[in-house]
Amino acid sequence: MTMKIMIKFGAAFVRLMQTIIQFGSILVRPMQMTIQWGSMPMRPMQTIIQGIAMRVRPMQIMKKNISIAVLCSLVICGNSAFAQRERNKSLILSEENGWEYEVKAGVNIGGASPLPLPVEIRDIKSYSPKLNGLLEGSATKWLGNDYKWGVSAGLRLEEKGMETAATVKSYQTEIVNEGEKVAGYWTGDVNTNYKSSFVSLPILANYRFNPEWKVRAGLYVSYRMDGEFSGFVSDGYLREGTPIGEKISFTDGKTATYDFTSQLRRFLWGTQLGGSWRAFKHFSVTADLTWAFNNIFEADFKTISFNMYPIYLNVGFAYRF
C-alpha cells in the first residue's frame, strides 16, 4: 500500500517538474528576446529618431524659407516705397518747373471725305465710323510766371476708318470684272471700306484759362503703318473708258470689287484743335479735331477724280501724373 502511494507520488512529482520546466522555458524565451533586442545596434530606436528628424527638418526648412521670403518682401516693399517717394519727388519738381505729363486714351469718329461733296455722289445710304482707338502720351511745358501758355508734344498710336454706302452717278473708278480690271464711270451703288493705322506726332500751343480748363491748337504729322481702301459696286452699270463708253450692267445681285490699298499715301499732315476739362485731380475729359491737309491717296492716283481728306474727332480721357 505504501509502495503504491510512493509510486503515485513520484509520478506526480515528475509531472510537476515537467510543468515547472515548461513554465520556465516560457519565462526564459522573452528574456532571450530582450537580450537579443539589447544586443542589436538600436536600429528600431534609430528609425524612430530618423522619422522624427525627417518631420522636424522640413519644418525647419519651411521656417527658414518663410523668414527669407519675409525679408525679401520687406526689402522689395522698402525699395518700392523708396522708388515711389523718389518718383513723387521727381514729378513734384517737374511740376514746379512747369512740366506736365499725360497719358490719353479714346476713340476717333469721322471719315475720309471729299470737300466739297462732289456732284457724282447723289445719296449717302449708310455710314459707320467703326471703333477707332487711340493711345497717346504727351508732355507740356508751361511758360511764364503764371503758366497760362505752354507748348506740348506727343506720340499717338491711332486708327482711322469708316464704312459707307452711297448712290453715285458717273463716278470715276476702276473695278475688277471677271478677273480683269476695267476703268470707267459707274452709276449705281458703291460700298466702301477704309481703315488705316497711324503713328502721329502732334506739336501744339496750349492756353490754360484756369486749373480746370485748357485749349490747344497746332499741327500734326502722321505715318501710316498699314491700311485698306476697298469695296464693291452693285445694282448699276459701268461705262467703260468714257461717260459714253460700252455699258457693262450689274443687276440681280451681281457685284464687282475694287481695291486701291496700294495707292494710299504713307504720310499725312494737318491741323489739330482741342481742349480738356479737368474733372478730378488726375483725370480729364478730352476732345480734339484733326483735319488732314493732303489727300489719302498718292498724288499720281487719278482713278478717283476728287481728293479725300481724313477728318476725325477724337474723344476720350487723360490721366495726369
Quote the percentage of the chain above a pLDDT of 70. 73
- For residue range 242-289, list pLDDT tens digits in order: 999 999 999 888 999 999 999 999 999 999 999 999 999 899 999 999
Q: Report the pLDDT averaged over residues 174-198.
A: 94
- Give, as one character, the DSSP assignment of residue 98: T
Residue 282: what are its φ and ψ, rounded to 5°? -110, -10
Q: Where are the domains of the chain?
A: 1-40, 41-97, 100-320
pTM: 0.71
Q: How many whole angstroms separate alpha carbon 105 and alpha carbon 94? A: 23
Q: How many CA atoms lie within 13 A of 268 on its CB side?
A: 27
State residue 223's pLDDT score: 98
Name the grid cell of 110. Answer: 469721322
Q: Which of 221, 220, 208 is nearest to 276 (CA)?
A: 208
Indicate if the pLDDT at residue 290 is higher than 90: yes
Query: Do residues 319 and 283 make contact, with C-beta atoms less than 8 angstroms apart?
Result: yes
Cα–Cα distances in angstroms (integers) from residue 308 to residues 113, 276, 294, 296, 301, in the given order: 5, 29, 8, 6, 12
- How far apart are alpha carbons 312 and 292 in whole angstroms? 9
Name 105's Cβ contacts closer than 8 Å, sequence gap at least 6. Answer: 133, 134, 135, 136, 316, 317, 318
* Record: fold of 100-320: Porin (2.40.160)
For residue 283, the cross-strand partners are: 319
CA distance 10 to 6: 6
Q: How far apart are CA 287 and CA 276, in angstroms?
A: 7
Q: How confident is the model at residue 179 (pLDDT cuts 50, 70, 90)?
A: confident
Q: Using CA atoms, how far apart are residues 164 and 166, in angstroms rounded to an integer?
A: 7
User: What are 34-47's pLDDT values in tens digits?
Assistant: 434 444 444 444 55
Tell which residue, 161, 162, 225, 228, has the closest CA to residue 198.
225
% of the chain beyond a pLDDT of 90? 63
Question: Residue 166 has what pLDDT?
Answer: 96
pLDDT surpasses 70 at 6 = no
Which of 43-47, 65-69, 90-94, 215-219 shows the lowest per-residue confidence on average (mean pLDDT)?
43-47
